Structures are given as C-alpha cells and as structure tokens.
C-alpha cells in the first residue's frame, strides 16, 4: 500500500492513536497509518472538516462503522476504535499490509486464472460473512480489496446498506463506482446481496483481464448505460472462469448465483488449477503425458448428448434458491478424478505419488522419528531442570528476606536459551510484577560484554526469531539491522537496551528490547515494537527512568519524541510527550 509523508495540516494524534503516514485520501476523508500505545498498527479514517457539519454525512459515516462492526471473521479489516461525536469523526481498523487488487493488476498485469480463482474463492467466502451479518457492501471493486499475506480483505463500507437503514439516496441516483455497479443500483431499485455478486463478477473480470467488462475511458453516463443495456465483453476472460463471471453479471438479480455457490465453485476451480500446474511441472520433468482437457470435454459432451443426467451443484443447507452455476464452456479443462489405474495402463503422475523412492532404506523414516523424539525429550528435561533450579534460588532468596536478609536483585535473574532465542524466566517475573520505583537508569560500573551483532533475538511483534550476523538479519524478507545498544541499569542490576530497526516496505519499525543478565548471559526482560518515521534521524538516550527516542527531520527541523517505560507488570509502555515539537510539521 502506497504511503506518503504527513502534511503540515495533518494532525499527529487522533484519539488514542499516533499518526505516522498518509495511506490515501478520498471523498469522505483521509486514511492514515497510526499506532496505539501498545504498538498495534491501525488504518485510521478521518473525515474532512468541511463534511463534519453535515448531519447526513455523519449518519452515513455512523452507518459505515455499524456495518463494519457487525461482520465477524477474517474477511474484513477489524474495527478497533471510532468516535462519531468528535469534531472530526474517525474510524480505526486493523492495518492490513499489502497492495489493493487494483494496484496489483495495474503494476503486474492480469492474474493467471488459477490465482484469480483462489482469490475469488476467499472473497466469495467473505461475502457470505458480510451477507450473513445483514450487510450489503454496495461498492465492491478492485481498489476496495486488499491482498494481505493472510488472504484478501474487503474494506471501505462507506456506502454499505443494512436491514432497516435508510439508503440516503434518491430514486434514479446511483451511488458507487461506474463499471462495477449493478443494474438495479443504476435504476435506483432496492439493493440485495445479489448486488454485491454483480460487482464481484466485474471485479473478477478485471483481475483476469485488467479492464472492466463494460470498458473504460468513457464518461460515467456511458458506463452506466452499458451496465443496464449492453452485455459485458468477456472475450479476454479465460474459458475456465468465463461461465461463472457471465452468471454473476446477469442483468436480473434472481439469475445470479449466491455467494456460497460462488465460493464452492471457485474453490473447485482453484484446486483444479493447482493440480494442472503440478501436472505440467511433473510432465516437464519426464512424467508421461496425460489426456488433453479438450479431449476430456469432448468425452463429457458426448455423454450428455447420449442422455446422461445433469447434476446441479450442491446448495448449502438453508440457502435460498439462486441461479445454478453454469457448466464450463467448450475448451475449459475439467476436474481430474483420482482412480485406480486399469490393468495394463501405465501409472499416471497421481498414481505414483505414494510410490517409495527407489534405493531408500525402509527404516529411514522410523530412525528419523526416533531421533526427533530423543532430541525433544532431552530439551524438555533440560528446560524443566533449569526452571526448577531457578525456582529453588528464588525460594531461598525469599526465605532470606523473611529472616531479615537484604534482597538480592541478581538472585532473581535467570533465563533459558533455546536455539539462541532469549526467554524471560519465571524467577524474574516475580520481580517484574512488583513496583516500578527503581526504573531505568544509566549504567553504573561495568556491564557484561555480549556480542550483540551476532546473536538471536525474539520478535516483539510476534514473528519468528531474528538471527543477526554482523548486525544484519540473515533471513529473507524484511531487512533488520542492529541500530543501537545502550548500557543501562534496571532495578539496581546491570542491564542493556538493544534497538533493532526493521524495514517493512516504506514503514520502519524499531524493536526495543531490555535485557538483564544472569552471570554473563543476557535475559530478555521486556520488549516492544514501535513504528518509526522513515524521514527522520533517531537519537536514543536514557533519561528520568525511561528510554527516549528523539526523531528529527533534517529538511524542516521538526521532530517528536517517544518515551519507553517498563510497567510494574513487566510490559514496556510507549508514550509521546513530545509529539509535534518544533512546530509539528515533520512526518
């Protein structure tokens, strides 16, 4: 998703969220990338100041919040906060990384039909969830679909309709995007879930061809006329998906298939496409050729002409009757069936999937399993013994306190390292849950020497372990580098603050980690992921019991500060006492 720097007029804090970048702007307002005090990223939509006084617009915005909040499941961006009574109402949803379908097709071209089928199956399942919540989106289009690593997400319910809600439109007025509007929307008739199915078909056609099925470049009036009176141009849609897309674009709502039927059919097509791709790969590696899809179609067509019955697709229990899913056109590949090879027939690629590899010892798999069990038991016993020993130390320390002995902070520090990843040990948890009167401070005396650029760190954002070599991550994907190490003191014991910086596209994230020591071994005490300003230079220091990050943009001189403190429960808290200093024009 494209990001832009904050402008001079943009706010820096809205509600409990700090704003970092612009994600986009539209007729309703501006969408920002923000984060809360726990470091969770959000997409925050802030309506325009000139629209805030419009009572009808506030009603429309409140309806968007209501519609988006009703939907359950991972098909949409989850609503995490809103304020309809603010001077400028806003809505915050979980941030969804990834480009829109519109941008993906625009930059990389039309999608292969198996990939389009896979994305379409997930979107159809999302529409089922949307319609089950009693909501009709009314503006489904490629730019309102985000392709996240966890699957496509439907966003922007700004003109959504739900049962019992006023449409806020008049007869003959179309609200939505030309080329993706259903005919009933153009005519000003009532919208139903079938309205979203029409837009779904147009969106799927765009993903497969790079253009609307009703053309582009014409005026809105011409586009709306084509939607109502002309048939869509599907000549460039691949044959396996053309019948399904044509059924979605039927002029009459009752002739369109339901979202559940679309999900079922597209799931089958996606599986077929994956199987065909695998078959082609195996054939290229020397596998025997298979019968062509055209030959299979000809056989099926002959069986139908001979009087074989046509079995309609299964409809989920309780779903209203809708138009049946069409059969594939001539030339479309049919689904392969798994069957036992007839005597004398060479085994096909599917038949050979479970054939043992020649020359491999039959007991190799059993020996490997035994080795894994031995390693697992050994590691488990070692961890249990370490924890038991640390708890014994803590009990002795507590007994000493009861007898009047002074507490020993170092006696409560312990940790277990598994494959180099630091884990907070249970003994330290007892200290961390106490009061935070000691806090952080500059180092006093020597701090154990650690090879910080060449070790493994845990990810405060919940990702896999981070392995550094010479200060840089070794894994593919987001680039992570060691940013700074500050010797420190925490609860009267030696400590170190380590900051890693991760580049996630145009977004920079600082991974702040506080370590104590058990002997010379670092023990992770607290950590936090925090979004940073990519345009600013950052300086770190320890001050007044907290870690301070100062960010300043060299071109404008503007900057902000972020304060990190360790709470009594052992978590790290982020606050922004100096947001927007020096005029607040940076971003």
> Is 581 within a domain?
no
Please give the Cα distance from 282 to 291 (Å, whole number): 14
Judge whether 104 lies within some domain: yes
Residue 199 forms part of a structural domain: yes
185 found inside a domain: yes
Owner of token pair 């339901």: 258
What SS3 state is found at 447? coil
Instruction: Give yes or no: residues 112 and 260 share one domain.
Output: yes
Query: Six-digit token pair at 363?
Result: 């007991």
Asked whether residue 78 falls in the same domain as residue 104, the answer is no
The pLDDT, as a whole number, for residue 349 is 39
Residue 9: pLDDT over 50: yes
CA 370 vs CA 378, 379, 384: distances in Å:
12, 14, 21
CA torsion, ordered 268, 193, 154, 7, to nearest 10 deg: 160
Please report the DSSP string for 317-339 in residue order: TTPPP-PPPPPPPTTPPPPP---
| Nearest Cα residue to 142 out of 182, 179, 168 | 179
CA distance 547 to 530: 13
Reported as type and span, the H/E element at residue 85 is none
Is 451 among the residues known to form the active site? Answer: no
Instruction: Say if residue 431's pLDDT is above 60.
Output: no
**pLDDT per residue as tens digits for the range 304-356:** 433 434 434 444 433 444 555 655 544 444 443 344 444 444 444 334 334 34
Whether residue 213 contacts residue 234, with contact meaning beta carbons closer than 8 Å, is answered with yes
Asked if 572 and 513 touch (Cβ cutoff 8 Å), the reply is no
Measure the CA–CA gap between 198 and 168, rounded to whole angstroms.
21
Per-residue pLDDT, 389? 64
CATH code of the domain containing 257:
1.10.510.10
Give the tens place of pLDDT for each residue, 154-190.
Answer: 887 755 544 433 333 333 334 557 788 899 988 888 8
Q: Where is average pLDDT lowest: 44-48, 204-208, 233-237, 493-497?
A: 44-48
Residue 415, pLDDT > 60, answer: no
Looking at per-residue pLDDT, the higher value among 75 and 407 belongs to 75
**Collapsing DSSP states into helix, strand and coil, what is residue 27?**
coil
Range of the domain at 519: 491-575
Instruction: Give residue for tokens 């190490």.
Output: 485
Token pair belonging to 282: 């195996």
pLDDT of residue 506: 60
**In this structure, are strands 145-148 and 135-136 parallel, antiparallel, or unpaired?**
unpaired
Task: Please give the residue that has the higher pLDDT: either 104 or 79.
Answer: 104
pLDDT value, residue 279: 62
Q: Provide mean pLDDT across the span 288-301.
A: 43
pLDDT for 80 equals: 86
Cα separation, 31 vs 20, in Å, equals 11
Query: Is 225 part of a structural domain of the chain?
Result: yes
Domain stop point among 215, 244, 277: 277
Q: CB under 8 Å to 494, separation ≥6 — which residues?
A: 443, 445, 446, 447, 448, 487, 488, 516, 517
pLDDT of residue 501: 92
127 and 196 co-located in one domain: yes
**Domain contains 303:** no
Question: Residue 3 maps to which CATH number?
Answer: 3.30.200.20
CA distance 263 to 258: 9
- Name the most confidently modeled range: 44-53, 243-252, 461-470: 243-252
**pLDDT score recorded for residue 25:** 79
Residue at 135 is within a domain: yes
Tokens of 329: 């056109």
**Distance, CA of 58 to CA of 433 (rounded, Å):** 45
Query: pLDDT per residue over 541-552, tens digit each?
Result: 999 889 999 888
Tell me the C-alpha to C-alpha distance, in Å, between residue 437 and each of 431, 490, 562. 12, 10, 21
Task: Give the pLDDT confidence score for residue 402 in this predicted structure.
Answer: 41
pLDDT at 587: 34
Same domain, 116 and 38: no
Query: How does strand 135-136 pair with strand 161-162?
Result: antiparallel
pLDDT of residue 432: 35
487 pLDDT above the threshold of 70? yes
Determine the Cα–Cα distance for residues 455 and 420; give it in Å rounded to an integer.
Answer: 7
State whether 137 and 19 are in the same domain.
no
> Mean pLDDT, the chain, as a whole number?
74
Q: Which residue has the higher pLDDT, 468 or 435?
A: 468
Residue whose structure tokens are 């056109």: 329
Q: What is the mean pLDDT of residues 3-17?
A: 87
Query: Nearest to residue 564, comparing CAs of 548, 550, 577?
Result: 548
Residues 90 and 114 in one domain: no
State the catalytic residue, choosing from 10, 87, 125, 139: 139
8 A C-beta contact, residue 102 and residue 143: yes
Mean pLDDT in residue range 274-286: 65
The tokens 């001077």 sit on which residue?
Answer: 87
Decide which of 277, 293, 323 is a domain's last residue.
277
Residues 229 and 83 both lie in one domain: no
Q: Which residue has the higher pLDDT, 1 or 466?
A: 466
Give the pLDDT mean for 108-135.
Answer: 91
What phi, psi does 526 have (nearest 5°)? -160, 155
In degrees, rounded to 5, the angle at the alpha carbon of residue 153 between the alpha carbons of residues 150 and 159 is 170
- Helix intervals (H) in 316-405: 364-402
Integer CA distances (angstroms), 467 to 146, 232, 275, 458, 470, in order: 30, 53, 36, 9, 10
Shared domain for 56 and 3, answered yes or no, is yes
Q: Residues 191, 136: contact at Cβ < 8 Å?
A: yes
537 and 500, same domain (yes or no):
yes
Q: What integer pLDDT is reported at residue 324 of this predicted model?
A: 56
C-alpha neighbours within 13 Å on the C-beta side of residue 499 = 21
Residue 505: CA atoms inside 13 Å, Cβ hemisphere, count? 8
In a domain, 9, yes or no: yes
Nearest to 527 by CA among 482, 478, 461: 461
Calpha distance 301→298 (Å, rounded) = 5
My answer on whether 77 and 123 are in the same domain is: no
pLDDT at residue 323 in the model: 58
pLDDT at residue number 486:
94
Distance between alpha carbon 502 and the CA centroid of its chain, in Å? Answer: 17
Find out whether 251 is annotated in a ligand binding site: no
pLDDT at 295 over 50: no
| pLDDT for the residue numbered 201 | 95
Query: Mean pLDDT across the stretch 69-98?
Result: 84
Using alpha carbons only, how large is the chain's radius of gyration in Å?
Answer: 30
pLDDT recorded at residue 285:
54
Question: What distance in Å separates the CA atoms of residue 428 and residue 414, rounded to the nearest whole number?
Answer: 7
Residue with structure tokens 């496409």? Answer: 273
The domain boundary residue, chosen from 58, 73, 95: 95
Average pLDDT rounded to a whole number, residues 100-115: 93
CA distance 145 to 128: 15
- Tell whether 68 and 101 lie within a shared domain: no
Phi, psi of 308 (to 5 degrees): -65, 135
Rounded CA separation 258/323 (Å): 8
Q: Residue 237 pairs with which residues in a beta bridge?
A: none
pLDDT at 2 over 80: no
Residue 474 near residue 456 (C-beta atoms within 8 A): no
Q: Which residues contact 395 (CB under 8 A, 6 or more apart)?
A: none
88 and 101 part of one domain:
no
How many domains is the chain partitioned into structurally?
3
Quote the CA–CA distance of 267 and 258 in Å, as a whole number: 14
Q: Would you say residue 248 has pLDDT above 90?
A: yes
- The structure tokens listed for 330 are 């001539």
Task: Give the alpha-carbon dihedral of 505, 510, 515, 521, to 10 degrees.
Answer: 30
pLDDT tens string 534-586? 777 889 999 988 999 988 877 666 677 888 888 877 788 887 764 444 433 33
Choose from 59-68, 161-170, 194-203, 326-335 the range with maximum mean pLDDT: 194-203
Reported as a single tens digit per residue, the pLDDT across 443-458 is 988 889 999 999 999 9
């Amino acid at each position: 998703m494209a990001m832009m720097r904050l402008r001079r007029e943009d706010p820096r804090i809205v509600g409990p969220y700090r704003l970092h970048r612009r994600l986009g702007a539209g007729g309703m307002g501006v969408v920002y990338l923000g984060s809360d005090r726990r470091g969770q990223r959000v997409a925050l939509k802030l309506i325009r100041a000139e629209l805030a006084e419009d009572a009808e617009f506030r009603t429309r915005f409140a309806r968007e919040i209501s519609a988006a909040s009703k939907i359950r499941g991972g098909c949409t961006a989850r609503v995490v906060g809103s304020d309809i009574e603010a001077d400028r109402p806003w809505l915050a949803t979980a941030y969804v990384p990834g480009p829109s379908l519109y941008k993906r097709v625009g930059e990389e071209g039309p999608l292969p039909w198996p990939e389009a089928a896979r994305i379409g199956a997930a979107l159809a399942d999302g529409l089922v969830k949307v319609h089950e919540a009693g909501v009709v989106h009314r503006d489904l289009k490629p730019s309102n679909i985000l392709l996240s690593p966890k699957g496509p997400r439907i966003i922007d319910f700004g003109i959504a309709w739900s049962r019992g809600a006023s449409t806020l439109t008049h007869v003959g007025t179309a609200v939505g995007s030309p080329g993706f509007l259903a005919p009933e929307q153009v005519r000003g008739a009532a919208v139903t879930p079938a309205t979203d199915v029409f837009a779904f078909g147009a969106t799927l056609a765009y993903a497969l061809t790079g253009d609307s099925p009703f053309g582009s470049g014409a005026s809105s009036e011409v586009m709306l006329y084509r939607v109502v009176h002309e048939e869509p141009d599907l000549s460039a849609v691949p044959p396996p998906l053309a019948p399904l897309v044509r059924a979605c674009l039927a002029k009459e709502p009752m002739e369109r298939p339901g979202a559940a039927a679309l999900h079922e059919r597209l799931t089958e097509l996606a599986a077929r496409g994956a199987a065909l791709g695998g078959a082609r790969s195996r054939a290229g590696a020397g596998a025997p050729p298979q019968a062509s899809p055209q030959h299979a179609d000809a056989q099926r067509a002959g069986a139908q002409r001979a009087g074989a019955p046509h079995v309609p697709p299964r409809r989920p229990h309780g779903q209203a009757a809708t138009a049946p899913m069409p059969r594939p056109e001539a030339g479309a590949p049919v689904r392969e069936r798994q069957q036992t090879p007839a005597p004398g027939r060479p085994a096909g690629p599917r038949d050979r999937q479970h054939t043992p590899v020649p020359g491999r010892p039959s007991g190799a798999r059993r020996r490997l399993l035994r080795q894994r069990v031995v390693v697992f038991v050994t590691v488990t016993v070692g961890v249990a013994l370490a924890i038991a020993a640390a708890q014994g130390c803590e009990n002795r320390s507590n007994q000493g306190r009861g007898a009047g002995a002074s507490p020993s902070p170092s006696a409560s520090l312990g940790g277990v390292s598994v494959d180099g990843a630091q884990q907070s040990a249970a003994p330290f948890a007892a200290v961390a849950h106490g009061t935070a009167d000691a806090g952080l401070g500059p180092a006093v005396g020597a701090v154990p020497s650690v090879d910080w650029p060449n070790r493994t760190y845990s990810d405060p954002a919940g990702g896999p372990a981070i392995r550094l070599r010479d200060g840089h991550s070794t894994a593919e994907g987001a680039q992570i580098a060691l940013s700074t190490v500050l010797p420190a003191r925490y609860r009267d014991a030696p400590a170190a603050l380590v900051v890693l910086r991760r580049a996630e596209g145009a977004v920079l994230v600082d991974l702040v980690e506080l370590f104590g020591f058990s002997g010379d071994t670092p023990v992770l005490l607290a950590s936090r992921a925090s979004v940073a300003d990519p345009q600013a230079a950052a300086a770190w220091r320890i001050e007044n019991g907290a870690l301070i990050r100062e960010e300043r943009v060299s071109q404008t001189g503007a900057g902000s500060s972020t304060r990190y403190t360790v709470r009594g429960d052992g978590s790290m808290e982020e606050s922004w006492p100096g947001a927007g200093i020096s005029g607040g024009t940076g971003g």
